[in-house]
Amino acid sequence: MKKYEEMQSVLHDILSNSAVRKMKKYMQHGRVSTYEHCKNVAKLSYDINRIFSLKANLRVLLTGAMLHDFYLYDWHDYDGGSHQLHGFRHAKTALDNAIKHFGIDKKTGSVIYSHMWPLNLRRIPKSKEAWIVCIADKCVSLHETLFRRHRS
């Protein structure tokens, strides 16, 4: 689609990164991989920004959206209990991975770190980009959980 060419351009290096591509093997919601989920959040974030003329920084917005669940494990797997509090912990793991693999800046890091608000009450989104990704993530997660649960 033409409308996502700008998004693809901003995310080119991230989408072609081998560590990011590993997200394709982990399930997020229903039958949706973590990679596909993050792309869906990036698309919705892009659309929200465009439709409402919010003038967010596209690099911060889209990088944060694509890396918000960059934790590189299947949270559904039992692993002795470390995934037990996944909802509370994975944003920090995703942030650490984003810093390690991409050297992201603080503003992009805050998008990733705060995306689970209000579950993580103290991690309130502090920028326009963080709010957009937080809202987009909730909308996409709800849709994937309700309507993309079972294999066709």
Residue of 128, 132, 67, 131 whose CA lies nearest to 95: 67
pTM, two decimals, is: 0.88
Kindly list the domain boundaries of the chain, sorted by start residue.
Answer: 18-74+84-147
Q: Which residues are CB-neighbours of 102 under 8 A, at least 6 positions away?
A: 13, 14, 17, 63, 67
Convert the pLDDT of each residue in 15-55 to its tens digit. Answer: 999 999 999 998 876 788 999 999 999 999 999 999 999 99
- 116 or 74, greater pLDDT: 116
Out of 45-54, 96-105, 106-115, 116-125, pick the least confident. Answer: 116-125
Helix (H) or strand (E) holding 28: strand 27-29
d(C-alpha 146, C-alpha 85), whole Å: 22
Q: What is the CATH number of domain 18-74+84-147?
A: 1.10.3210.50
